[in-house]
Amino acid sequence: MRTPDELTERFRGAGRKVTAQRQCIFRILQGDETHPSAETVHAAAAREMETISLKTVYQTLHDLTELGEITALDVGTGRTRFDPNVDHAHHHLVCRRCGSVRDLVVDFPGLTVPRGADLGFEVGSAEVIFRGLCPGCRAEDGAEPDPSPTRARPEPDPSPTRSDPRLKKGTPCPHSRTASPRPI
């Protein structure tokens, strides 16, 4: 995904309005590998801007999708997820319990629709979704977590309340350049 500054210029170049709310959303998406939902992005943005609306988040995410900067995914978790990784073809791992989603970069050579089975469709691409349990959910079951680099962690709780003591007015966006890195 492009940097927040590059996205700002891309929006301006496409005649779209650039606001502080949109720039915060750009920062939140930067480097996010969790394939967040709009609600998760909204919760993170609300930590900086209490009054940011979910509608603004949805509109910005859909604008980014139209511009080809992110991909909207329906991976069967009940919410549309947004993937900032549009640089290369990849597939996804989805936890069937917590719904976490991670990229899986692997090639399936020869994956095609058999002749005559395409029902007249002109097939241009394929997506493979692997479902299972992420290391966190496996650990809850007492299984040893898999130390592989494709480990997934659940999405953060998208619904903190304004009475949450961690959410103080004026708290900077945790994804801004001056914030410390997110814990892993």
Over residues 102-112, the pLDDT tens digits come to 999 888 888 88
Which CA distances in Å does 98 have to 57, 87, 111, 133?
Answer: 23, 26, 29, 8
Tell me which CATH code domain 1-84 carries: 1.10.10.10
What is the domain partition of the chain in residue ranges? Answer: 1-84, 88-154
Q: What CA–CA distance (Å, rounded) separates 139 from 154?
A: 13
Q: Please give the residue that has the higher pLDDT: either 55 or 156.
A: 55
Q: Considering all CA atoms of the chain, what is the largest pairwise distance in Å, rounded to the nearest integer?
A: 60
CA dist 78 to 73, 96, 145, Å? 11, 11, 26
How far is residue 111 from each of residues 37, 105, 114, 126, 183, measured CA to CA in Å?
A: 29, 15, 9, 8, 37
| Measured distance CA(1)–CA(68) in Å, rounded | 10
- Higher pLDDT pick, 61 / 159: 61
Q: What number is the average pLDDT over the span 60-78? A: 94
Q: How confident is the model at residue 50 (pLDDT cuts 50, 70, 90)?
A: very high
Q: What is the mean pLDDT of residues 143-155?
A: 49
Q: Which of 88, 93, 112, 95 is nearest to 103 (CA)?
A: 93
| DSSP-assigned beta bridge partners for residue 131 | 94
Confidence band (pLDDT; 50, 70, 90) for 144?
A: low
Stronger pLDDT, 148 or 124, i.e. the higher one? 124
Q: What is the pTM of this model?
A: 0.70
DSSP 70: S
Per CATH, the homologous superfamily of domain 88-154 is Ferric-uptake regulator, C-terminal dimerisarion domain (3.30.1490.190)
Mean pLDDT across the chain: 81
Q: Which two tokens stand for residue 101?
A: 């989603």
The pLDDT of 61-68, averaged and rounded, is 96
Tokens 């791992």 appear where?
93
Residues of the chain with pLDDT > 90: what percent?
56
What's the one-letter identity of residue 97?
R
Per-residue tokens: 171: 């708290």
| Residues with Cβ within 8 Å of residue 114, at least 6 apart in sequence | none
- Tell me how far apart the alpha carbons of residues 124 and 28 are, in angstroms, rounded to a whole number: 31
Q: Is the pLDDT of residue 140 over 50?
A: yes
Predicted confidence (pLDDT) at residue 121 exceeds the cutoff of 50: yes
Least confident of 13-27, 45-59, 109-123: 109-123
**pLDDT value at 125 more than 60:** yes
